Structure 1
Amino acid sequence: MRWNLRLAAANRGIWKASEFQRLLGERGLVISAGKMSGLWSGQPHSIKLDELEVICSVLDCGPEELLLREHDTVAPAAPATSVDASAVGDEAKQPPAVRPRAPRGRSLPPA
């Protein structure tokens, strides 16, 4: 995923992080300068859904405009392996059986 906040804001005439931070504050979302810097100029590692909702409200957009999918970054799914009928009885291909361990509890106190 690619974070697209700056371009979405620029398309609406918002050019400065401080201006956007003020607009968020007017909607009840107070963001620190450090977090605002990460949202504005970086690629945030996480964002709360409540915050995303306010950001979308201020920009009058949907999350699909802020979060752009990059198709090349995720590896394709591995093909599912099917169980061969001849392998069902083969013990070499089965996972090892689970065996309980002997209890290693505390010893009894002296009488």
Structure 2
Amino acid sequence: MKWNLRWVAAGRDIWRPSDLKTAFEAVGFTPSLSKVCALWSQAPVTVRLDDLDMICAGLECTVADLMEAESLATEESGRQDGQQAVGGSLRSGSGGRPVPKQSGGKGGLRRLPPN
């Protein structure tokens, strides 16, 4: 997700975190200045939904204005050192279903439990 708080704030003629805090306080949202600075300087890892609602009210915007989905290609190219999302690759022909492992002793396939 792309965090567009500064872009939305600039559209409302807000250029500093202290001005943003004032806009938030006008709608009853009273975060600390350090929290506002953290939201201002980088994309948050998590945001409470009620805080997100108050941020949108203070900036007179929507959630879609604040956050923009980035393509998966951008996320995949950002991965380094062979990191991969869990379940990121499926074996061909598996159709997304689990594939039995080869058993070491008998040479046959282990059976999957019943569905």
Q: TM-score, normalized by length of structure 2?
A: 0.66
Q: Please give the alpha-carbon distance, in whole angstroms, between the structure 2 residues aligned to 1:23 and 1:82.
A: 51
**Percent of pairs with identical residues:** 33
Q: Please give the alpha-carbon distance, in whole angstroms, between the structure 2 residues aligned to 1:82 and 1:41.
A: 42
Distance 1:77 1:33, change over 3 A: same
Q: Does the 8 Å contact 2:17/2:33 carry over to 1?
A: no
Q: Please give the alpha-carbon distance, in whole angstroms, between the structure 2 residues aligned to 1:82 and 1:18.
A: 52
Higher relative contact order (CA 8 A, sep 6+): 1
Residue from 61, 72, 75 that aligns with 1:73 = 75
| Superposition CA RMSD, Å | 2.6
* C-alpha distance after superposition, 1:11-57 (max 9, x if no partner): 11111110110111121111112211110111111111111111111
Structure-1 residue corresponding to 2:17: 17
Q: Where does 1:8-87 land on structure 2 (aligned, <5 Å)?
A: 8-71=8-71, 72-73=74-75, 78=89, 80-81=95-96
Report how far residue 93 of structure 1 moved.
3.6
1:42 is aligned with what amino acid? Q
* C-alpha distance after superposition, 1:55-92 (max 9, x if no partner): 11122211011111110216796453469xxxxxxx72
Please list every run of 5 or more consecutive structure 1 residues that lacks an aligned counterpart in the other structure.
84-90, 97-111
1:92 is aligned with what amino acid? L
Distance 1:82 1:30, change over 3 A: closer
Distance 1:95 1:14, change over 3 A: same
Q: Does the 8 Å contact 2:4/2:65 carry over to 1?
A: yes
